[in-house]
Amino acid sequence: MSDGSRGMRRVEDAHVAGKTVLVRVDFNVPMRGTTIQDDARIRGAVPTIQLLLARGAKVVLLTHLGQPDGVDEDLRVGPIAVRLAEVLRRPVRKLDDCIGDGVRRAIAAGQGGDVFLLENVRFHRGEEENAADFAGALAALGDVYVDDAFGTLHRAHASTVGVAERLPAYAGLLVQREVDTLSRLLTNPERPYVAVVGGKKAESKLGALAELVTHVDAVLIGGGVAFTYLEALQSSARDDDLVRKIRRIDAAARKRGAAVVLPSDAVVAPSLSAAAQAVVANVREMPSGWSGFDIGPATVREFAAWLTKARSIVWAGPMGAFEVAPFDKGTRAIGEAVGRSGAYSVIGGGETGEAIASMGLAERVSFISTGGGACLAFLEGKSLPALVALGG
Protein backbone atom coordinates (compact mmCIF):
# COMPACT_ATOMS: atom_id res chain seq x y z
CA MET A 1 0.00 0.00 0.00
CA SER A 2 1.15 3.49 -0.69
CA ASP A 3 0.92 6.50 1.59
CA GLY A 4 -1.36 8.85 -0.35
CA SER A 5 -0.28 11.89 1.68
CA ARG A 6 3.17 12.03 0.12
CA GLY A 7 3.41 14.73 -2.53
CA MET A 8 -0.19 15.84 -1.96
CA ARG A 9 -0.53 19.56 -2.63
CA ARG A 10 -2.16 21.18 0.40
CA VAL A 11 -4.53 24.13 0.49
CA GLU A 12 -2.33 25.94 3.01
CA ASP A 13 0.23 26.41 0.23
CA ALA A 14 -2.22 27.91 -2.28
CA HIS A 15 -2.16 31.62 -3.11
CA VAL A 16 -5.85 32.53 -2.98
CA ALA A 17 -6.09 36.22 -2.02
CA GLY A 18 -8.33 38.01 -4.50
CA LYS A 19 -9.01 34.77 -6.40
CA THR A 20 -12.09 32.67 -7.03
CA VAL A 21 -11.59 29.23 -5.52
CA LEU A 22 -13.70 26.27 -6.64
CA VAL A 23 -14.08 23.85 -3.74
CA ARG A 24 -15.41 20.35 -4.34
CA VAL A 25 -17.22 19.40 -1.15
CA ASP A 26 -19.20 16.28 -0.31
CA PHE A 27 -22.58 17.56 0.84
CA ASN A 28 -24.30 14.31 -0.11
CA VAL A 29 -26.10 14.31 3.23
CA PRO A 30 -28.99 12.05 4.28
CA MET A 31 -32.28 13.86 3.69
CA ARG A 32 -35.89 13.24 4.66
CA GLY A 33 -37.85 15.49 2.36
CA THR A 34 -36.17 18.87 2.78
CA THR A 35 -34.85 18.07 6.26
CA ILE A 36 -31.16 17.20 6.69
CA GLN A 37 -30.83 14.17 8.96
CA ASP A 38 -27.09 14.46 9.63
CA ASP A 39 -25.02 17.56 8.83
CA ALA A 40 -21.60 16.04 9.67
CA ARG A 41 -20.38 16.35 6.08
CA ILE A 42 -21.40 20.00 5.96
CA ARG A 43 -19.61 20.76 9.22
CA GLY A 44 -16.58 18.79 8.03
CA ALA A 45 -15.97 21.21 5.16
CA VAL A 46 -16.19 24.35 7.30
CA PRO A 47 -12.49 24.58 8.31
CA THR A 48 -11.38 24.68 4.66
CA ILE A 49 -14.03 27.23 3.74
CA GLN A 50 -13.05 29.43 6.69
CA LEU A 51 -9.36 29.19 5.82
CA LEU A 52 -10.03 30.38 2.26
CA LEU A 53 -12.30 33.20 3.40
CA ALA A 54 -9.74 34.38 5.95
CA ARG A 55 -7.19 34.61 3.12
CA GLY A 56 -9.39 36.80 0.97
CA ALA A 57 -10.82 34.27 -1.47
CA LYS A 58 -14.20 34.16 -3.13
CA VAL A 59 -15.45 30.62 -2.46
CA VAL A 60 -17.56 28.64 -4.94
CA LEU A 61 -18.74 25.24 -3.71
CA LEU A 62 -19.48 22.22 -5.91
CA THR A 63 -21.31 19.14 -4.63
CA HIS A 64 -23.50 16.26 -5.69
CA LEU A 65 -26.60 15.02 -3.87
CA GLY A 66 -28.00 11.56 -4.45
CA GLN A 67 -28.14 9.79 -7.81
CA PRO A 68 -30.42 11.92 -10.00
CA ASP A 69 -31.16 11.02 -13.61
CA GLY A 70 -31.22 14.57 -14.90
CA VAL A 71 -32.82 17.40 -12.92
CA ASP A 72 -34.64 16.08 -9.85
CA GLU A 73 -36.56 18.64 -7.79
CA ASP A 74 -36.20 16.46 -4.69
CA LEU A 75 -32.40 16.59 -4.95
CA ARG A 76 -31.83 20.32 -5.17
CA VAL A 77 -29.26 21.69 -2.71
CA GLY A 78 -31.26 24.63 -1.37
CA PRO A 79 -31.71 23.14 2.13
CA ILE A 80 -27.96 22.52 2.28
CA ALA A 81 -27.24 26.19 1.53
CA VAL A 82 -29.53 27.19 4.38
CA ARG A 83 -27.80 24.85 6.84
CA LEU A 84 -24.31 25.87 5.67
CA ALA A 85 -25.16 29.54 6.20
CA GLU A 86 -26.22 28.71 9.75
CA VAL A 87 -22.99 26.83 10.44
CA LEU A 88 -20.76 29.47 8.83
CA ARG A 89 -22.77 32.34 10.32
CA ARG A 90 -22.59 34.21 7.03
CA PRO A 91 -24.70 34.35 3.87
CA VAL A 92 -24.41 31.54 1.33
CA ARG A 93 -25.79 32.32 -2.11
CA LYS A 94 -27.27 29.27 -3.79
CA LEU A 95 -27.28 29.42 -7.60
CA ASP A 96 -29.79 27.62 -9.80
CA ASP A 97 -27.24 25.74 -11.90
CA CYS A 98 -23.56 24.88 -11.79
CA ILE A 99 -22.57 26.11 -15.27
CA GLY A 100 -23.81 28.70 -17.75
CA ASP A 101 -23.78 32.44 -18.36
CA GLY A 102 -25.98 33.22 -15.39
CA VAL A 103 -23.69 31.35 -13.02
CA ARG A 104 -20.59 33.05 -14.45
CA ARG A 105 -22.13 36.51 -14.13
CA ALA A 106 -23.27 35.93 -10.54
CA ILE A 107 -19.83 34.73 -9.45
CA ALA A 108 -18.05 37.53 -11.30
CA ALA A 109 -20.19 40.10 -9.49
CA GLY A 110 -19.14 38.71 -6.13
CA GLN A 111 -16.13 39.69 -4.07
CA GLY A 112 -13.63 38.24 -1.63
CA GLY A 113 -15.44 36.75 1.36
CA ASP A 114 -18.52 35.72 -0.63
CA VAL A 115 -19.68 32.09 -0.57
CA PHE A 116 -21.64 30.50 -3.43
CA LEU A 117 -23.16 27.01 -3.52
CA LEU A 118 -23.80 25.73 -7.04
CA GLU A 119 -26.66 23.41 -7.90
CA ASN A 120 -26.23 19.61 -7.84
CA VAL A 121 -23.48 18.76 -10.36
CA ARG A 122 -25.09 15.39 -11.07
CA PHE A 123 -28.01 17.11 -12.75
CA HIS A 124 -25.61 17.15 -15.73
CA ARG A 125 -24.70 13.86 -17.41
CA GLY A 126 -21.19 15.18 -18.06
CA GLU A 127 -20.34 15.02 -14.36
CA GLU A 128 -20.13 11.25 -13.96
CA GLU A 129 -18.81 10.86 -17.51
CA ASN A 130 -15.99 13.35 -16.76
CA ALA A 131 -16.93 14.99 -20.07
CA ALA A 132 -14.33 17.47 -21.28
CA ASP A 133 -16.86 20.20 -22.10
CA PHE A 134 -18.55 19.98 -18.70
CA ALA A 135 -15.24 19.89 -16.81
CA GLY A 136 -14.06 22.87 -18.83
CA ALA A 137 -17.23 24.82 -18.06
CA LEU A 138 -16.77 24.19 -14.34
CA ALA A 139 -13.07 25.09 -14.42
CA ALA A 140 -13.85 28.36 -16.20
CA LEU A 141 -15.66 29.55 -13.08
CA GLY A 142 -12.53 29.79 -10.92
CA ASP A 143 -8.81 30.41 -10.65
CA VAL A 144 -7.86 27.71 -8.12
CA TYR A 145 -9.36 24.31 -7.29
CA VAL A 146 -9.54 22.69 -3.85
CA ASP A 147 -10.83 19.15 -3.32
CA ASP A 148 -12.30 18.67 0.15
CA ALA A 149 -14.63 15.80 -0.78
CA PHE A 150 -12.89 12.69 0.53
CA GLY A 151 -15.96 10.57 -0.14
CA THR A 152 -15.59 11.11 -3.90
CA LEU A 153 -11.81 10.67 -4.28
CA HIS A 154 -12.33 7.23 -5.82
CA ARG A 155 -14.55 8.72 -8.56
CA ALA A 156 -13.02 10.05 -11.78
CA HIS A 157 -15.76 12.62 -12.35
CA ALA A 158 -15.66 16.08 -13.93
CA SER A 159 -15.82 17.94 -10.61
CA THR A 160 -13.17 15.73 -8.99
CA VAL A 161 -10.64 14.93 -11.71
CA GLY A 162 -11.59 17.02 -14.75
CA VAL A 163 -11.39 20.38 -12.95
CA ALA A 164 -8.23 19.35 -11.06
CA GLU A 165 -6.52 18.74 -14.39
CA ARG A 166 -7.41 22.25 -15.60
CA LEU A 167 -6.63 24.44 -12.58
CA PRO A 168 -3.95 24.61 -9.86
CA ALA A 169 -5.31 21.92 -7.54
CA TYR A 170 -4.92 21.39 -3.79
CA ALA A 171 -6.24 19.09 -1.07
CA GLY A 172 -8.55 20.68 1.49
CA LEU A 173 -8.16 20.23 5.23
CA LEU A 174 -10.77 17.47 5.48
CA VAL A 175 -9.15 15.44 2.70
CA GLN A 176 -5.76 15.90 4.35
CA ARG A 177 -7.09 14.73 7.69
CA GLU A 178 -8.74 11.66 6.15
CA VAL A 179 -5.64 10.66 4.19
CA ASP A 180 -3.25 11.27 7.08
CA THR A 181 -5.51 9.38 9.51
CA LEU A 182 -5.97 6.35 7.29
CA SER A 183 -2.28 6.33 6.40
CA ARG A 184 -1.57 5.79 10.10
CA LEU A 185 -3.35 2.43 9.84
CA LEU A 186 -1.36 1.54 6.73
CA THR A 187 2.12 2.35 7.93
CA ASN A 188 2.52 1.56 11.62
CA PRO A 189 -0.68 0.54 13.44
CA GLU A 190 -0.41 -0.23 17.13
CA ARG A 191 -1.18 -3.90 17.75
CA PRO A 192 -3.29 -5.92 18.19
CA TYR A 193 -4.95 -4.46 15.10
CA VAL A 194 -8.56 -5.65 14.69
CA ALA A 195 -10.90 -5.06 11.74
CA VAL A 196 -14.69 -5.27 11.99
CA VAL A 197 -16.41 -5.86 8.66
CA GLY A 198 -20.16 -5.96 8.08
CA GLY A 199 -22.84 -4.61 5.80
CA LYS A 200 -25.47 -6.15 3.57
CA LYS A 201 -23.48 -7.53 0.63
CA ALA A 202 -20.27 -9.53 0.67
CA GLU A 203 -19.40 -8.46 -2.88
CA SER A 204 -18.77 -4.87 -1.79
CA LYS A 205 -16.44 -5.89 1.02
CA LEU A 206 -14.32 -8.68 -0.49
CA GLY A 207 -11.62 -6.34 -1.80
CA ALA A 208 -11.25 -4.77 1.62
CA LEU A 209 -11.28 -8.16 3.33
CA ALA A 210 -8.61 -9.55 1.02
CA GLU A 211 -6.34 -6.61 1.84
CA LEU A 212 -7.16 -6.36 5.54
CA VAL A 213 -6.31 -9.98 6.32
CA THR A 214 -2.75 -9.27 5.16
CA HIS A 215 -2.39 -6.50 7.75
CA VAL A 216 -4.65 -7.07 10.76
CA ASP A 217 -4.34 -9.56 13.60
CA ALA A 218 -8.04 -10.41 13.52
CA VAL A 219 -11.09 -9.64 11.40
CA LEU A 220 -14.56 -9.87 12.94
CA ILE A 221 -17.23 -10.43 10.29
CA GLY A 222 -20.91 -9.60 10.83
CA GLY A 223 -23.94 -8.47 8.86
CA GLY A 224 -24.94 -10.06 5.59
CA VAL A 225 -21.24 -10.47 4.74
CA ALA A 226 -20.94 -13.05 7.51
CA PHE A 227 -23.75 -15.25 6.20
CA THR A 228 -22.25 -15.30 2.70
CA TYR A 229 -18.82 -16.06 4.16
CA LEU A 230 -20.21 -18.91 6.28
CA GLU A 231 -22.07 -20.38 3.33
CA ALA A 232 -18.93 -20.25 1.18
CA LEU A 233 -16.93 -22.20 3.77
CA GLN A 234 -19.66 -24.73 4.59
CA SER A 235 -21.31 -25.46 1.25
CA SER A 236 -19.68 -27.85 -1.16
CA ALA A 237 -22.54 -27.40 -3.62
CA ARG A 238 -21.59 -23.84 -4.55
CA ASP A 239 -18.50 -23.19 -6.63
CA ASP A 240 -18.96 -19.74 -8.13
CA ASP A 241 -16.58 -16.79 -8.30
CA LEU A 242 -17.79 -15.30 -5.02
CA VAL A 243 -17.22 -18.55 -3.14
CA ARG A 244 -13.75 -18.98 -4.61
CA LYS A 245 -12.79 -15.42 -3.59
CA ILE A 246 -13.98 -15.99 -0.02
CA ARG A 247 -12.10 -19.27 0.23
CA ARG A 248 -8.92 -17.58 -1.02
CA ILE A 249 -9.33 -14.83 1.59
CA ASP A 250 -9.81 -17.42 4.32
CA ALA A 251 -6.75 -19.37 3.20
CA ALA A 252 -4.63 -16.20 3.10
CA ALA A 253 -5.73 -15.32 6.65
CA ARG A 254 -4.87 -18.79 7.95
CA LYS A 255 -1.48 -18.73 6.23
CA ARG A 256 -0.60 -15.43 7.85
CA GLY A 257 -2.06 -16.36 11.24
CA ALA A 258 -4.78 -13.72 11.24
CA ALA A 259 -7.96 -14.80 13.02
CA VAL A 260 -11.23 -14.73 11.08
CA VAL A 261 -14.03 -14.59 13.64
CA LEU A 262 -17.54 -15.39 12.39
CA PRO A 263 -20.88 -15.27 14.22
CA SER A 264 -21.98 -18.26 16.26
CA ASP A 265 -25.52 -16.95 16.70
CA ALA A 266 -27.85 -14.47 15.05
CA VAL A 267 -31.12 -12.63 15.59
CA VAL A 268 -33.43 -14.15 13.00
CA ALA A 269 -36.95 -13.40 11.79
CA PRO A 270 -39.25 -14.36 8.92
CA SER A 271 -39.06 -10.79 7.56
CA LEU A 272 -37.33 -7.48 8.18
CA SER A 273 -39.99 -5.72 10.22
CA ALA A 274 -40.20 -4.24 13.70
CA ALA A 275 -43.41 -6.26 14.13
CA ALA A 276 -41.87 -9.57 13.04
CA GLN A 277 -41.20 -12.32 15.56
CA ALA A 278 -37.45 -12.27 16.26
CA VAL A 279 -35.51 -14.99 18.05
CA VAL A 280 -31.87 -15.86 18.67
CA ALA A 281 -30.66 -18.93 16.80
CA ASN A 282 -27.42 -20.80 16.21
CA VAL A 283 -26.17 -19.81 12.75
CA ARG A 284 -26.08 -23.50 11.79
CA GLU A 285 -29.64 -24.14 12.99
CA MET A 286 -31.69 -21.23 11.65
CA PRO A 287 -35.41 -21.90 11.04
CA SER A 288 -36.19 -22.70 7.43
CA GLY A 289 -37.28 -19.63 5.49
CA TRP A 290 -36.05 -17.21 8.18
CA SER A 291 -33.16 -14.78 7.72
CA GLY A 292 -30.53 -13.38 10.04
CA PHE A 293 -30.80 -9.61 10.56
CA ASP A 294 -28.30 -9.07 13.36
CA ILE A 295 -25.53 -10.80 15.26
CA GLY A 296 -26.63 -12.58 18.44
CA PRO A 297 -25.58 -12.05 22.08
CA ALA A 298 -22.93 -14.79 22.12
CA THR A 299 -21.31 -13.28 19.02
CA VAL A 300 -21.45 -9.83 20.60
CA ARG A 301 -19.57 -11.15 23.64
CA GLU A 302 -16.92 -12.83 21.49
CA PHE A 303 -16.42 -9.77 19.29
CA ALA A 304 -16.27 -7.50 22.34
CA ALA A 305 -13.54 -9.70 23.86
CA TRP A 306 -11.40 -9.19 20.75
CA LEU A 307 -12.06 -5.45 20.76
CA THR A 308 -11.09 -5.17 24.43
CA LYS A 309 -7.60 -6.44 23.54
CA ALA A 310 -7.24 -4.25 20.44
CA ARG A 311 -4.98 -1.20 20.21
CA SER A 312 -6.03 -0.27 16.64
CA ILE A 313 -9.52 -0.82 15.17
CA VAL A 314 -11.05 -0.19 11.76
CA TRP A 315 -14.78 -0.81 11.35
CA ALA A 316 -16.60 -0.89 8.00
CA GLY A 317 -20.20 -2.05 7.82
CA PRO A 318 -22.95 -2.43 10.46
CA MET A 319 -23.59 -5.76 12.19
CA GLY A 320 -27.21 -5.92 11.13
CA ALA A 321 -30.26 -4.01 9.94
CA PHE A 322 -29.64 -1.25 12.47
CA GLU A 323 -32.39 0.95 11.04
CA VAL A 324 -35.06 -1.44 12.34
CA ALA A 325 -35.44 -2.37 16.01
CA PRO A 326 -34.75 -4.93 17.45
CA PHE A 327 -32.06 -5.59 14.85
CA ASP A 328 -29.98 -2.61 15.97
CA LYS A 329 -28.67 -4.18 19.18
CA GLY A 330 -25.59 -5.85 17.67
CA THR A 331 -24.34 -2.69 15.96
CA ARG A 332 -24.94 -0.65 19.12
CA ALA A 333 -23.14 -3.20 21.31
CA ILE A 334 -20.11 -3.30 19.01
CA GLY A 335 -20.06 0.51 18.90
CA GLU A 336 -20.05 0.60 22.69
CA ALA A 337 -17.27 -2.03 22.82
CA VAL A 338 -15.15 0.00 20.39
CA GLY A 339 -15.73 3.08 22.54
CA ARG A 340 -14.69 1.25 25.71
CA SER A 341 -11.59 -0.29 24.16
CA GLY A 342 -9.34 2.75 24.38
CA ALA A 343 -7.93 1.72 20.98
CA TYR A 344 -7.24 4.07 18.09
CA SER A 345 -10.52 3.51 16.24
CA VAL A 346 -11.47 4.49 12.70
CA ILE A 347 -15.04 4.12 11.46
CA GLY A 348 -15.23 3.67 7.70
CA GLY A 349 -18.00 6.15 6.98
CA GLY A 350 -21.14 5.24 5.04
CA GLU A 351 -23.79 3.30 6.95
CA THR A 352 -21.44 2.59 9.85
CA GLY A 353 -20.83 6.28 10.41
CA GLU A 354 -24.56 6.99 10.21
CA ALA A 355 -25.27 4.22 12.72
CA ILE A 356 -22.63 5.45 15.17
CA ALA A 357 -23.94 9.02 14.93
CA SER A 358 -27.59 8.03 15.30
CA MET A 359 -26.78 5.98 18.41
CA GLY A 360 -24.93 8.83 20.09
CA LEU A 361 -21.58 7.02 20.00
CA ALA A 362 -19.63 9.37 17.70
CA GLU A 363 -17.71 11.00 20.55
CA ARG A 364 -16.45 7.61 21.76
CA VAL A 365 -14.43 6.73 18.65
CA SER A 366 -11.22 8.29 17.38
CA PHE A 367 -12.28 9.12 13.83
CA ILE A 368 -15.31 8.72 11.56
CA SER A 369 -14.43 8.84 7.88
CA THR A 370 -16.76 10.86 5.65
CA GLY A 371 -16.39 8.38 2.78
CA GLY A 372 -17.41 4.73 2.98
CA GLY A 373 -16.36 3.63 -0.50
CA ALA A 374 -13.33 5.93 -0.61
CA CYS A 375 -12.20 4.81 2.84
CA LEU A 376 -12.29 1.13 1.87
CA ALA A 377 -10.61 1.82 -1.46
CA PHE A 378 -7.81 3.66 0.35
CA LEU A 379 -7.35 0.83 2.85
CA GLU A 380 -7.27 -1.65 -0.04
CA GLY A 381 -4.31 0.28 -1.46
CA LYS A 382 -6.18 1.30 -4.59
CA SER A 383 -5.17 4.37 -6.54
CA LEU A 384 -7.81 7.04 -5.97
CA PRO A 385 -8.14 9.07 -9.20
CA ALA A 386 -8.99 12.39 -7.56
CA LEU A 387 -6.18 12.00 -5.02
CA VAL A 388 -3.71 11.32 -7.82
CA ALA A 389 -4.88 14.57 -9.45
CA LEU A 390 -3.81 16.37 -6.23
CA GLY A 391 -0.35 14.84 -6.34
CA GLY A 392 -1.17 12.14 -3.78
DSSP three-state, residue 202 = coil
- The pLDDT tens digits along the chain (392 residues) read 345 556 899 999 999 999 999 999 999 998 989 999 889 899 999 999 999 999 999 999 999 999 999 999 999 999 999 999 999 999 999 999 999 999 999 999 999 999 999 999 999 999 999 999 999 999 999 999 999 999 999 999 999 999 999 999 999 999 999 999 999 888 889 999 999 999 988 888 888 899 899 999 999 999 999 999 998 988 766 778 899 999 999 999 999 999 999 999 999 999 999 999 999 999 999 999 999 999 999 999 999 999 999 999 999 999 999 999 999 999 999 999 999 999 999 998 788 988 998 899 999 999 999 888 888 888 888 889 999 999 97
Q: How many angstroms separate the CA atoms of 349 and 324, rounded?
A: 19
Query: Cα angle at 359 between 39 and 154, to 5 degrees?
Result: 50
Q: Exactly one of 136, 207, 373, 381 is catalytic; name it.
A: 373
Catalytic-residue membership of 371: no
Superfamily of domain 11-173: Phosphoglycerate kinase, N-terminal domain (3.40.50.1260)
Q: Is 21 within 8 Å of 59 (Cβ atoms)?
A: yes
pLDDT in tens, 33-59: 999 988 989 999 999 999 999 999 999
Catalytic-residue membership of 201: yes
CATH 3.40.50.1260 placement within the chain = 11-173, 189-379
DSSP three-state, residue 61 = strand
Catalytic-residue membership of 41: yes
Q: Exactly one of 6, 201, 254, 309 is catalytic; name it.
A: 201
Is 0.85 surpassed by the pTM of this model?
yes
End-to-end CA distance of the chain: 13
Catalytic-residue membership of 350: yes
State the amino acid at position 146 in one-letter form: V
Q: Exactly one of 350, 353, 371, 392 is catalytic; name it.
A: 350
Residues in the chain, how many?
392
In what order do the strands lie in the sheet containing 20-24? 93-94, 115-117, 58-62, 20-24, 144-147, 169-171
Q: Exactly one of 4, 9, 24, 41 is catalytic; name it.
A: 41
CATH topology of domain 189-379: Rossmann fold (3.40.50)
pLDDT in tens, 162-195: 999 999 999 999 999 999 999 988 888 999 999 9
